[in-house]
Amino acid sequence: MPPSRKSTSTHYDSGSSSRSYSSRGGRSSGRLTIFDWVIRVPIALLLLGFMGFYLLSGATMDVEKFKATVSRIPEFPAFVMEQMQKKSDAQKAYEETAVQDSYYVKSIGRYCDWDAEMECYYDSETDCYFWYNDTTKTHTWQYWYEDISSDYGDYGWMEFDSTEKQWYIEVSDGEWIELPSEYDRSNLWHVE
């Protein structure tokens, strides 16, 4: 039986800010004065323009590099949309499995039921719990094979890297190693 703790990525507290954003100087209206329009606004625009040129020139202040960077700006929305589509596809893949009471695993040719207590799917024939981990940067299926994973105490969640055709196992918080060769892989399967 897997531990109650599933493998997750580390999250850092952002902390709270001690800054106060209340109005200063007794000015209660949000209107700009003539001094603001004549001095502050032009200086702010010049600074923003300079900073934009500096950043878009790759911190080199080279006009040609600036022009090359600006010429690629029309491609940026397509890149952003592609990244958003990838994230959406990963979320859909998870939702397709998360809402089901059972999940068909093609590689073993059978349905596996959802174990509400463990919050995982379970295959009784191979004594394997598995779930789709969407808390990590790279969403992936993780497995708890009782005969192998229990050797690692509260850790032991496993992943299959389909590119490398290799199993990995978590040995401590966030530390993964290749599954040691002494373990029998003949009954190991993974969601395709």
Which pLDDT does position 151 carry in this prediction? 93
Which pLDDT does position 130 carry in this prediction? 93
At 87-111, the pLDDT tens digits run: 888 777 666 655 578 888 999 999 9
Which pLDDT does position 35 carry in this prediction? 87
Mean pLDDT over residues 75-92, rounded? Answer: 80
Rounded-to-integer distance, Cα 98 and Cα 91, Å: 10
- Per the CB < 8 A criterion, the answer to whether 149 and 156 are in contact is yes
Q: Among 126, 132, 128, 135, which residue's Cα sits nearest to residue 97?
A: 132
Q: At 77, is the pLDDT very low, low, confident or very high (cuts 50, 70, 90)?
A: confident
Q: At 85, is the pLDDT very low, low, confident or very high (cuts 50, 70, 90)?
A: confident
Pairing verdict, β 158-161 and 175-178 = unpaired
Predicted TM-score (pTM) of the model is 0.53
Residue position matching structure tokens 């106060």: 20
Q: Among 139, 149, 116, 119, which residue's Cα sits nearest to residue 191?
A: 139
Which pLDDT does position 1 carry in this prediction? 65
Q: Among 146, 154, 152, 156, which residue's Cα sits nearest to residue 187?
A: 146
Rounded-to-integer distance, Cα 105 and Cα 134, Å: 19
Which pLDDT does position 4 carry in this prediction? 61
Rounded-to-integer distance, Cα 34 and Cα 37, Å: 5
Q: For residue 142, is pLDDT > 70?
A: yes
Rounded-to-integer distance, Cα 81 and Cα 69, Å: 19
Rounded-to-integer distance, Cα 161 and Cα 177, Å: 12
Rounded-to-integer distance, Cα 134 and Cα 174, Å: 15
Mean pLDDT over residues 32-43, rounded? Answer: 89
At 54-64, the pLDDT tens digits run: 888 888 888 88
- Per the CB < 8 A criterion, the answer to whether 105 and 189 are in contact is yes
